[in-house]
């Protein structure tokens, strides 16, 4: 496995968390911010956080020593990126700040150093305008809190080189996280789905259907309970795409446009592809694997419930 030298530019809460997980994977990490003083303060903070994470059993026992050995604060962005083979930009979510930062990174970094942006909302193609050799640039979107959320969106733009994507996949895999490639589209995948759910939840509150507390209870104890194990397409395939079609028809009696049946769903149902029970659906899981899948599902749900019971209720109220 290649040992990477990585710069994280923007050492706040997200950047610091990214630096921690990269350092724990064995990478050499330099962090930078708008000044050396801030970078050093944030370095001290991420070390203190790591100490607490160890005490809480969230990081391995030797995590603090490994982070101290692998992370260092740099005097400037230019110093941090010099000699780095991968650079992750994690500055505030304003395009003018990111453009300025990316220009500085491009000017000081090796011309073949891969550059990633942790943006969650700004189109990667727009950010690439500030990058020299933009074929080495892509979105590398960690989620908050970075040390503990396992998924990372990878968002290439039109000219991102395949080799750059593959290298970033290797770097992220070394941290134990899981990547998914998505196209450069407004909201990417994570936030488009997240905000679609939030929008519908606020509609329910505003219509007086349920309180925020009861909606949160329903989400986390029903369909949200499935989501650590299965995504929406696997859930639909197991439920039956014909069932989904009937449910859409019911919702359309009140909201014909808002809940119009997706074209892809209609095409599958019309073709007799109802999901796992027919051996073909969105994911084409063979019908003979259904018993194995159901057994796995049930085991997973019982394990999740046991974990939630062990943790107890979240300290919200």
Cα-flanking dihedrals φ and ψ of residue 263, to 5°? Answer: -55, -40
For position 287, what pLDDT does the model report? 82
For position 1, what pLDDT does the model report? 56
- pLDDT tens digit at each of 317 positions of the chain: 578 999 999 999 999 999 999 999 999 999 999 999 999 999 999 999 999 999 999 999 999 999 999 999 999 999 999 999 999 999 999 999 999 999 999 999 999 999 999 999 899 999 999 999 999 999 999 999 999 999 999 999 999 999 999 999 999 999 999 999 999 999 999 999 999 999 999 999 999 999 999 999 999 999 999 999 999 999 999 999 999 999 999 999 999 999 999 999 999 999 999 999 888 999 988 888 889 999 999 999 999 999 999 999 999 86
Q: Which CATH number fits domain 222-311: 1.10.20, 1.10.3470, 3.90.1150, 1.10.1040?
A: 1.10.1040
105, 77 contact by CB (below 8 A): yes
86, 113 contact by CB (below 8 A): yes
Same fold, 5-181 and 222-311: no
Q: Coil, helix or strand for 114?
A: strand
Q: What is the pLDDT of residues 112-165, one digit of tens each?
A: 999 999 999 899 999 999 999 999 999 999 999 999 999 999 999 999 999 999
8, 88 contact by CB (below 8 A): yes
Q: How far apart are CA 163 and CA 188, in angstroms?
A: 21
Instruction: Output the known binding site for NAD(+).
Output: 10-15, 33, 93, 98, 120, 144, 277
264's CB contacts (< 8 A; 6+ apart) are 282
Instruction: Output the known binding site.
Output: 10-15, 33, 93, 98, 120, 144, 277
The pTM for the full model equals: 0.93
Sheet containing 86-89: give its strands across. 71-73, 28-32, 5-9, 86-89, 114-117, 137-142, 151-156, 178-181
287, 275 contact by CB (below 8 A): no
| Yes or no: domain 5-181 corresponds to CATH 3.40.630.30 | no
The residue behind tokens 């059993």 is 57
For position 208, what pLDDT does the model report? 98
Domain ranges of the chain: 5-181, 222-311
For position 288, what pLDDT does the model report? 86
């Amino acid at each position: 496995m290649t040992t990477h030298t990585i710069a994280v530019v923007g050492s706040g809460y997200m950047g610091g968390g990214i630096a921690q997980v990269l350092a724990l994977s064995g990478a050499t990490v330099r962090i930078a911010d708008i000044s050396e003083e801030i970078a050093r303060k944030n370095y001290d903070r991420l070390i203190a956080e790591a100490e607490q994470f160890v005490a809480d059993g969230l990081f391995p026992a030797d995590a603090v020593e490994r982070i101290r050995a692998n992370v260092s604060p740099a005097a400037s962005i230019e110093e941090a990126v010099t000699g780095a083979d991968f650079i992750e930009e994690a500055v505030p979510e304003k395009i003018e700040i990111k453009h300025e930062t990316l220009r500085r990174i491009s000017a000081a970094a090796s011309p073949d150093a891969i550059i990633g942006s942790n943006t969650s909302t700004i189109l990667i193609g727009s950010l690439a305008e500030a990058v020299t050799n933009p074929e080495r640039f892509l979105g590398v979107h960690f989620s908050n809190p970075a040390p503990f959320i396992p998924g990372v969106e990878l968002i290439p733009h039109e000219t991102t080189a395949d080799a750059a994507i593959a290298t970033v996949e290797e770097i992220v895999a070394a941290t134990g996280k899981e990547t998914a490639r998505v196209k450069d589209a407004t909201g990417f995948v994570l936030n488009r789905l997240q905000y679609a759910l939030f929008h519908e939840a606020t509609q329910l509150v505003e219509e007086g259907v349920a309180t925020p507390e009861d909606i949160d209870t329903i989400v986390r104890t029903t369909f949200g309970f499935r989501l650590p194990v299965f995504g929406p397409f696997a859930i639909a395939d197991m439920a039956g795409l014909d069932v989904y079609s009937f449910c859409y028809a019911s919702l359309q009696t009140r909201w014909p446009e808002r809940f119009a049946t997706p074209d892809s769903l209609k095409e599958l149902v019309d073709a007799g592809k109802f999901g796992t029970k027919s051996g073909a659906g969105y994911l084409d899981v063979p019908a003979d694997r259904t018993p194995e899948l159901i057994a796995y599902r049930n085991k997973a749900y019982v394990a999740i419930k046991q974990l939630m019971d062990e943790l107890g209720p979240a300290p919200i109220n």
